[in-house]
Amino acid sequence: MTSVFLRKELKRHSDPYKAKILQRFFKTGPGEYAEGDIFIGINVPVLRALAKKYQNLPLDETTRLLRSRIHEERLLSLLILILKYRKADLMGKREIYRVYLKNSMHINNWDLVDVTAKQIVGDYLYDKDRRKLYQLARSGSLWQRRIAVLSTFHFIGKGDHEDALKIARILLSDEHDLIHKAVGWMLREVGKCDIRAEENFLDKYHRRMPRTMLRYAIERFPEKKRQGYLRAK
């Protein structure tokens, strides 16, 4: 089985009308964060079904698909990588983790990051040295920074939020709205596990946080407390 064969099947599921909607939604216009990204109009449930069907696609062919200019082809390859990762032994997981980071320039929209970073990078680094996350958090690449943030969701789900808060601190002054949203979301997830830890962080840094980041972080707070943080901003 080859990526060429899979591309032909993807074309059979494409929808030009949906493609136009997706290209607007994912900000592919000139000067926007996903400028030049190409969609062919395939819904995520269809891609998940195809990933399950073709999860035995060889890793080199999966990687070739990840380097495609077409968004749905990249997303499909990442969904296949997740399935491969779950079934792999430790050596296999390490190889997939390395392939993922080596090709991070192709994981270049928020949905591609959000569906995969926790599942691959976060899972792999959970019981290992996490310095790579700090390198990603300081990267000039918007998408690598978002990978750093979303990867911590795996740790947070296991009650481990130390790295999440350190990365949030690094990204307090980030200029991009997609990082503001991601960090706020991350802080909100920390609060679900340890509200005191989130509040301690907010008490120290909320005046420095971009307003979008703060709004996402306090979204689940009682209204009185939420308004208190917003007024003190």
Q: Could you state, in chain order, the average pLDDT of each consecutive group of 10 residues for the chain (233 residues)? A: 83 94 93 94 96 95 96 98 98 98 97 98 97 98 98 97 98 97 98 96 96 96 93 80
DSSP 119: I
Tell me what pLDDT residue 1 has.
66
Tell me what pLDDT residue 104 has.
97
Do the beta carbons of residue 187 and residue 168 sit within 8 Å?
A: yes
Cα 43 versus chain centre, distance: 18
30 torsion bin: left (phi>0), alpha (psi -120 to 50), beta (else): beta
Residues 79, 139, 188, 100: what is their CA dihedral angle, to the nearest 10 degrees?
Answer: 20
Q: Give the contacts of 232 (CB within 8 A, at least 6 positions apart).
A: 206, 207
Tell me what pLDDT residue 4 has.
80
Domain boundaries, the chain: 1-108, 116-233
Model pTM score: 0.94
Separation between Cα atoms, residue 137 and residue 231, nearest integer Å: 29
Tell me what pLDDT residue 5 has.
83
Tell me what pLDDT residue 89 has.
98
Q: What residues does 70 pair with on adjacent strands? A: 38
Tell me what pLDDT residue 118 has.
98
Task: Select from 1.25.40, 1.10.10, 3.40.50, 2.60.120 the CATH code of 116-233.
Answer: 1.25.40
